[in-house]
Chain A
């Protein structure tokens, strides 16, 4: 089926973004409202498409739209085309829905910023790029959106680029993302070389005839792309610093949508990964490492936003891991992605609300006892908290429980290993989130001088409330009657695999709940009651390592930055001595010989006369010699 409306999803926010940027200060008065309305209208279009899709029979739910012929070389044709199927619509609704809520929130949050219009222009640009990413019908179209969200992320992290460290954070995110983008571009090239096509449908048709080596290579390159964009190990270091951006940006881009693009990429490329078991195993391993890595970092963070960022990294690790389990896991990866979109965005907005009331203080050691002063924030945040740690029947319980179950079901030693890692991650998640809750909303007041915490305005708490409702209900809604699994099956599980069960679901659920109880109890024992205003300094080596983000920056510095700088210095020296040296030698030899030759030109007539005479004599002698 084709549709004419898909393009508006992208064109509207793109147009609005361009308009706000081109009009400049003239649009200051109404820019934020305009951008929010545009974002809401994309949500309306998305919802209309969604309801139309439900009404159609399962086989014809996907709709396409060809925009124009982009590249046409010989037999190779790439259309700029859009594809809206069961997978993309989930993302469209998440992006436009959460995006609109965050637009609303930002109206109030950014009201004191004189560049609010520019902020909204970037936000709309992000919405357009992200929608292009999930709607593109080929890897090449996806790539355009992929780069677009990278740019939007860069612009928004560095939104307050008057502070040099914020600008550096933006640069760091951009560079780390470039490494991943390299992977995506190589994957596109592999696809072109092996299949002669770059569109999802075109590749899927020919995937049977490809060698497993090519599929594995492409899968690994796609994984590299996902690792960069989704802040997975080993390219995870940028996400913590990305919290330099305004909090709504952290909520939208670095929690709910952009960083989950890697999960989308892997799920979308299911036809590649399902035929490349090695690549799948790599996906699972990366996900497992990251889910533990992020969770461990989260345990020692005192900066509320960085703690949430570490948690995001960890939760995306869960999603990546699930997507590595193939058809059994894709649906749960997407389900966790959606529920995570609700509760994590809600918690980030809650953190923004706390910062709003505490003069932009981010250190949780200077919070405490805020529940009384910010009742709505603490309740919405609390609901998100219950969702993320996986307390039944909140959203995170369903999605995370299913991922743990899928991990165990992988079977054998691997299944036990990955399942246990996921369970351990759940314990740690419960621990650090409880710690965050206790330090922020309960305990003694450790506020800085002059802090007067107050509840945020309606425009800020309303989106938080909506997201809190999502944190409560989305898990049940998505999972009741296996709705999400059945919905996504035509895209990610065409052959309707039978999934084996390693442990009965009830056992896994019990284990997951026990894990949560353990994590929460440890945190309660350690963090209940009064805390000091600064982090304890007499701590074990482990704590110190964790406070340094498990040495991720040190490792990057040691492995890449220093050798890179050495290489650059070497190249600069080579350039200066060899290449510049050769050029300078040519110049100075010309100069030197000219200096010598110049002595002949004295300006005295007699010298010239003498030379003429000598010349004449030489000519004469030569003539004589010839004659004789």
Chain B
């Protein structure tokens, strides 16, 4: 049984059919990267996995919690699915430590000192132990994104979604975030990423999913796919990436 499974997922934005029957299995510990041109539906697919985008048809199941055509226990699902965003989205009125502590306290009812221990551990994990009391606007983009990763990890999710998490960063800050992701992958964290960092995707992914016009057009092991693209669309996509 895969950890994450979607079946015949359909999504419309008005008349625009953006996801056309997505079937995707993600095993525990797997690192899956979704690639494709903008407008291919990759971000939308990622955002349906924790219910940020509703689905019009099909099912999503994460570790036994199911959404069927958008109906189901959304909060139970979201406790199992962490998410990191392109724009970090840290709570601006809270320190880095408080950002990480908040969800365990509010959602899980964790005691304050226990939440603080969790937050200190998570910040240490992303290399920011000394930034516990810093506020988001006192941190660089890369640091903010690492705090955002720590914030998601503090809820002990089964799977972490990363939506173009380096796209808003200055080039020199990309690596510090990618190395945190690399480390998570090596620790066995299940990851689903949308990224434009092709080299990174090839390096860390167990599975590559190429989206084209709302469908999974091609998927498989990254090396094999890059070496032997089976569809002209994917071959085209690779050419334009380098």
Q: Do A and B bind each other?
A: no
Q: Which residues of B contact A (CB under 8 A)?
A: none
Q: Which residues of A contact B (CB under 8 A)?
A: none
